[in-house]
Amino acid sequence: MRTVSASVQSSGNGRATHAQVRDTSRGPVTSPSVQDRIEAGFERFGRRVVRARWLAAAGTLALAALLVDQLPPPFETAVEKFLRTDDPARVLWEEFQDQFGRPDAILVSVRPPDVFDLAFLERLRELHDALEDEVPHLEEIQSLINARSTRGEGDELIVEDLLEELPRGPEELRALRERVLSNPFYVNTLISKDGSFTGLLLTLDLYAGEVDDDYGGFEEDEGPEPAAARRELSGFEIHGTVARVRELLARFDAPGFRLRMAGSPVLQERVVASMQRQLPRFVAIMMGAVALLLALLFRRASGVLLPLLTVALSLACTVGAMAAAGAPITPPTQVLPTFLLAVGIGTAVHVLKIFYMRFDAGDSVEDAVAHALGHSGLAIVMTGATTAGGLLSFSVAGLTPIEDLGRFAPLGVLLVLLYSLVLLPALLAIVPLRRRPALPEGALTRRLEAGIVRIGMYSARHPGPVLGTTAVAVVVALFGIARLEFSNDVMSWLPPESELRQATGEIDRELGGSMTLELVVDTGARDGAKQPEILSALDELRVTVGGLTRGDHLYVGRTISIADVVKEIHQALNENRPEYYAVPDDARLVAQELLLFENSGSDDLEDVVDTPFRQARFTIKLPYIDPIGYDGFIEEVEAHFAERLPEATIGTTGFMAMMGQTVKRVIRGMTRSYLLALAIITPLMILLLASLRTGLASMVPNLSPIVLVLGLMGFSGVRIDSFTMMIGSIAIGLVVDDTIHFMHGFRRYYAKCGDPYEAVTRTLETTGQALLFTSIVLSLGFSVFALSDMVHLAYFGIFTAIAIAGAFLLDIAVSPALMILATRRDFRQTAEPS
């Protein structure tokens, strides 16, 4: 049986509330429920923390000291490190490097008034020698100075550097020009087709070796290590080498000798440099802004310093745990500091808002802490669980850095809970506190609170129009989502005016490409790469593949294989006559000529074939484009190789192939992550609200912001990449927090008063201001990334902030309407609300 009391009560702020309902068929409203018992448990926990405050503070600080001692983790952007160690693409990449060395090189471009000018060649030699003498970890430097020159004298094969001696006059310079521009090995590798542009290729060591004593920051090796103990160059060492090259080029750069640098090592170094420069700045900006907001909200030093301290310790512990586990800071994990700062402050605010309200009203510290944890403890734990669950979904992404985010971000959230529920209450009991008078009715925070309540009550009174408008917005957003495109263009992360983007474009135009696609042809037999039919097939593929294009933006600059070396040797041993620039059709002759080449002292065969001549390397020079654009091209190249070399095994690798594989794994992995996030969060919401119907309804304000933001991205032309694709999983883990706090408060007050309208009002009065503040903190935390000079990071921050702000608006404008509809069956009003 249900009895209805039509008395009008005051909510405590002068506003009238609606009819109170008691459902006596279910027993007294005040009878202890599961939620009541949980809240009482949190109250008891709060009292124990206060009574053991020194022990609680000492324990949490000791944990922080243990983990902080592991700082700092290294920075890493190597493309292969995005893939798991057992990923076939990474295994092939590492096998390729072990056999042929690094396929990626630092490219240095020079555009002089005249390449074939003696003064320029002398300056080029000085630069070449300086690079050899002053830059560590360079395995090889190629330029016109030391370009391979192969010629024959009788039965002797002579292989020497092109410019062992510089030309001595105009005639020799003209002869040099003709010789260089007629050699296919030089054109589009070391010099442009018109001879106006030249370059240097700097190949880095694969393994660490001896370095100069005075090279700042590089570790000095005692000597060469045994093969089994060899250590690959670290990202720090590679980036240090790039930085040293940049310093040296700045020294040589002058009018008539303008130098630019490009290549994948330079691109990765630029990304790391940006991360190292911007991360501290972003954290500092956000902490300053948060401090101002905390001061505005709480009007006391403890309300500013204690949350910042607990969050800083949580963050330091998380990053320390990464360092202890050997996990580096990568582009995806660089969002962790700002993310945890925002989450931690939001969590602390929900504790402090209730604590200061009760403390200022006259409660003791112990009573105020107990009430704060009893009121918000369950919601805080549930929001932590859902946030961690949303982030945990990244652990199945299939890409190591994103999986690291899926491991350490949930750990960070749990540490935030630990420090907010243990250290923060302990510090509140330790530090001296003074009570503050209540704010006057006209104060800004009071006006904000009243505005939030008015929005919520409008939604509660007009659920149909509110939900209908939301549904229309979601449908429109779906059309925007249909327009989304995928991308993984790391170069586009940089500003359009960046020196690297300019240099890359110039090298692509003048030297036929700044990137390479590498194919490994395994003939299956020793000396298989010496067989004329294999060599002829490679030479035919040079022509076939060289003619492939994809519009104006993707073309083949040139190809390099053992067939080119064989043709070069054969021509040199036949009086350098052009008609002998061909593959011999006699296997024994090929073997003899290759033996002569090896005996000449040149080790260049190591770059194109393995020692048993079983595996041959085929390099394709390409311009830089969005890696996702190489997909169809690579498939066509592989099809041509499979058709022409059906008995051989073909492996495809290289920087751009690895980037393309990364894109595919991002798409598959993030799809799994989105589904897993939903699978984790939805049951948690149902469990918290103890109702299937209400739990499913609560997902509307959780999912709608994600749909709306993705639609906005589609209409704005922003592409989905490895960063922007994380917006959904991160945002759903965050926006659900506001929903939980609203739903938890609503359920709490509805159980006490039985009137959904009254429950909405009281929920927004006690929780609305904290929801607003935490949403501001979270939005501010991510919008800080809009200051980044890395475009992808700016987009990530902007759209995540929009999702969080939109979630707050939906929580106060849509959640009340959903709760009114969800409880309509249990509630019969005796009078329409005024």
Tens of pLDDT, residue by residue over 435-473, are 888 666 556 767 887 889 999 999 999 999 999 999 999
**180 three-state secondary structure:** helix
Bond preceding residue 437 cis, omega within 30 of 0: no
Quick one: which of 699, 78, 26 has its CA closest to 328? Answer: 78
- Chain-centroid distance of CA 626 in Å reads 16
Residue 191: both structure tokens together: 């010099």
Weakly modelled stretches of the chain, pLDDT under 50: 1-31, 210-228, 829-834
Those residues whose C-beta lies under 8 Å from the C-beta of residue 586, and which sit 6 or more positions away, are 532
Tens of pLDDT, residue by residue over 71-130, are 677 777 777 777 888 888 889 998 999 999 888 899 999 999 999 999 999 999 999 999
Residue 376: both structure tokens together: 């918000």
pLDDT at site 538: 97
At which residue do the structure tokens 């490219």 appear?
A: 107
115-135 b/e (C-beta count within 10 Å ≥ 16 → b):
bbeeebbebbbebbeebeeeb
**CB 805 within 8 Å of CB 736:** no
| β-strand partners of 622 | 515
At which residue do the structure tokens 């607990």 appear?
A: 310
**488 three-state secondary structure:** coil
pTM score, two decimals? 0.77
pLDDT at site 236: 80
Residue 162: other Cβ atoms inside 10 A: 17
Find the length of the chain. 834
Strand 554-555 to 259-262 pairing? unpaired
Written in H, E and C, the secondary structure of 577-638 is CHHHCCCCCCHHHHHHHHHHHHHCCCCHHHHCECCCCCEEEEEEEECCCCHHHHHHHHHHHH
Q: In whole angstroms, how far apart are CA 559 and each of 187, 229, 507, 546? A: 11, 35, 16, 7
pLDDT at site 163: 93
pLDDT at site 229: 52
**164 three-state secondary structure:** coil
- Compute the distance between CA of residue 731 and CA of residue 390 in angstroms, rounded to an integer: 8
| β-strand partners of 515 | 622
What DSSP string describes 280-349?
HHHHHHHHHHHHHHHHHHH-SSHHHHHHHHHHHHHHHHHHHHHHHHTPPB-TTGGGHHHHHHHHHHHHHH
